[in-house]
Chains A and B, each alone.
Chain A
């Protein structure tokens, strides 16, 4: 056996590679039958040790990675009433707080602020809800003089309709699904990050 010969050779030089060398450990390699038994036992031991290691490593890994497939923190309501249409005027954006139910791990918070959106009314009754979160790295944007939005973190600037004017952001402010019903403005609380403006 070339392999075992090399191993023994290595062992003699006292610089054995990891693990494998012990299949053919030095003291009891006298009889071939015994050597075969040792090899078998060694392989079985290594296999069983791997099983034990797998069993021990799995629980923390599963617990960590489980959140990947099923986020534990989530908003549960969809359409949330955020403002009356009458309070909105064309060209004058209003920041509206979105209240709703937050499922935060084991806790259920009802009627808590989930975030906010900028409501921008058009000439008629249509209302556009812009995400408050800058598409660059997620800071909250402010309304500045001259009717534009400014991200205070990295100075991206957006028009009132959300399109990007300047700054490091790749695109405009994301649009949050919104609709008007009976004079009230509703937004989708599960989509406050918004979608890419089309």
Chain B
């Protein structure tokens, strides 16, 4: 076997053949020369490597259980050095892979590269596309946030539509009939072990077959001499890979990373939206009535996938010009355009609906609150329990369930003004109180209720401010300092109260109401709001004129407390949220 050259490199090469192997890879002849059009496959490959690299980094910090998954992702996102960046690169890298795959697929379709003898290359490519979708579905659940949880419910529902085997299929995927610990461990194992292994195997086959048959040269380039992969094509591929990485990094940095939504909460409703690449399927489901749902969810996507798989079997005529092949590609083109249209429609529908915008805004608030609550670490029973115990979240959700759509507005759109109860946006803040005093019987306040008999307070300037000061000073809360004001001002404020004959109707007593008006004792405090929500018809408040239901009969004690704290926090700040 020839004469051996001395030296470490040569010895290494003799033992391993590594350089020779590399050389064989790099000297692959490309018929017709290097082209920018050939970069998409490499871009997908680099994208997958980015996902693997960032995925390994996240796996070092991830814990797949319902009590710890969200907390561990939150920890990675907020406390681990560059964690937010790594997670963002993973999320947006996945989006980039989907886009690059789409471009790769389009290029292969247009070039006719799926035709004989490359059918198997094509099929392995389609299967890889399917694997990427499976990665997307399993990965979406892993943070165990509301978005992932509810999206997975929808996915499981779609699987359940499969005739005959649906329920069994969904049960196997979820590890039971509900989404829980077993779903997380399953999805995690799929996402980090099984799917990567399958991807590696298929990718190897795909690349081997690609090398076996070579790229499909466009007819106009056939006359040009072949060129080795290195350096011409390698340069183009490397430039494209760098562009991919730069774009993904830029999107991640500009957007501040991937959003971590509030922890999964099976009892709340959540307006879940899939990522954009599943938005078309999502929108499609809106157009099919119940009994036909399986058509939109499984039959149509199945037909398109089936057509793609069967393409090389139909399209066999020699001479691969696009002009001859268009009838085979037409269904694919129509499907692609239709899908893009559905994606656009889905986003347009959401943007046009004020209720959805309001809902998304309230969800964003829940997301932000979760980050605040989890900042000091999450207790053993998990982030979900942390959220459930929080008066802000709990109070707001009770209000949304019982009040805001039917009776009280919340700064936003109002229910029927004839019957509406006061708008609680900014309840008992200085601004709310001032507006109220100036026009208590307006639609915004008590105009739609039976207690609309209070006259507007018609004073201006300092006297009015003094009155507001007096009312603001009635509230108290352990740990929240009372406003500091000189005795003279206090006296002036009190004088203002009596001067305006407030005491003709209102009392300041903790035990009894006034003549027609409620007692103002502790106005704006947590404990007063709790009493008011529990039973506004007691003598202390509105008596027989009260129209609000008794919520002590409808809510649990903790819910009542949460509502009172939440309402109070609007004017007294978040200090009143703490229970201890």
Contacts and interface: CB of A to CB of B under 8 A. Distances in A.
A41 interface: yes
A148 to B, nearest CB: 39
B232 A41 contact: yes
B72 A17 contact: no
A66 B86 CA distance: 12
Contacts of A110: 379
Interface string A86-108: 00000000000000000101111
Interface stretch (B77-85, B111-119, B572-580): B77-85
B9 A25 contact: no
Interface stretch (A43-51, A117-125, A152-160, A170-178): A43-51
Contacts of A41: 231-232, 234-235
Interface string B224-252: 00011011101100110110010001000
Contacts of A62: 57, 81-82, 86
A1 interface: no
B53 interface: yes
A58 B241 CA distance: 16
A45 B235 contact: yes
B5 interface: yes
A38 interface: yes
Interface in A37-79: 38, 41-42, 44-45, 48-49, 51-52, 55-60, 62-64, 66, 69-70, 72
B79 to A, nearest CB: 7
B386 to A, nearest CB: 10
A23 B27 CA distance: 11
Contacts of A63: 56-58, 60-61, 80-83, 86
A51 to B, nearest CB: 6
Interface string B354-391: 00000000000000000000101111100000000000
Nearest to B7: A17
Nearest to B53: A56
A49 B234 CA distance: 9
Contact of B380 (A21, A52, A55, A109): A109
A168 interface: no
B165 interface: no
Given A22-B26, A63-B57, A106 B5 contact: no
Given A18-B9, A52-B46, A59-B53, A107 B379 contact: yes
B50 interface: yes
- Interface hub of B74, B83, B230, B376 (most chain A Cβ within 10 A): B230
Contacts of A106: 63, 68, 71-72, 74-75, 374, 377-378
A184 B57 CA distance: 46
Interface string A8-37: 000001111111011101011000000000
A22 to B, nearest CB: 5
A72 B75 contact: yes
A16 B19 contact: yes
Nearest to A50: B238
A27 B235 CA distance: 18
Given A70-B81, A106-B75, A107-B378, A48 B230 contact: no
A48 B235 contact: yes
- Which interface class (under 10, 10 to 19, 20 to 34, 35 or more) fits B? 35 or more
A45 B5 contact: no
A25 B89 contact: no
B13 interface: yes
B242 A48 contact: yes
Contacts of B198: none
A15 B13 contact: yes
B49 interface: yes
A59 B242 CA distance: 16
Contact of B19 (A21, A42, A64, A66): A21
B534 to A, nearest CB: 32
B401 interface: no
Interface in B221-280: 227-228, 230-232, 234-235, 238-239, 241-242, 245, 249
A51 B242 CA distance: 8
A1 B20 CA distance: 24
- Interface hub of A21, A64, A103, A107 (most chain B Cβ within 10 A): A107
Interface in B1-50: 5, 9-10, 13-14, 18-20, 22-23, 26-27, 46, 49-50
Contacts of A48: 235, 238-239, 241-242
Nearest to A47: B238
A133 to B, nearest CB: 25
B86 to A, nearest CB: 5
Interface string B84-111: 0010010000000000000000000000
A108 B376 contact: yes
B196 to A, nearest CB: 14
A63 B59 CA distance: 10
Contacts of B241: 48, 52
A103 to B, nearest CB: 5
B164 to A, nearest CB: 42
- Interface hub of A25, A105, A106 (most chain B Cβ within 10 A): A106
Contacts of A18: 9, 13, 18-19, 22
Contacts of A13: 5
A64 B60 contact: yes
Contacts of B53: 56-60
Nearest to B89: A59
A194 B34 CA distance: 66
B54 interface: yes
A28 B380 CA distance: 66
12 contacts: A13-B5, A21-B19, A42-B234, A45-B234, A57-B53, A60-B56, A60-B57, A62-B86, A64-B57, A106-B74, A106-B75, A107-B377
Given A16-B23, A66-B83, 17 more contacts: A15-B19, A16-B19, A18-B9, A42-B231, A42-B234, A42-B235, A44-B235, A48-B235, A48-B239, A57-B53, A59-B57, A59-B86, A62-B86, A66-B80, A72-B75, A105-B72, A108-B377
Interface of B: 5, 9-10, 13-14, 18-20, 22-23, 26-27, 46, 49-50, 53-54, 56-58, 60-61, 63, 68, 71-72, 74-75, 79-83, 86, 89, 227-228, 230-232, 234-235, 238-239, 241-242, 245, 249, 374, 376-380
In order of increasing CB-CB distance, the 6 nearest A-B pairs are A108-B377, A63-B57, A106-B75, A48-B238, A106-B71, A66-B81
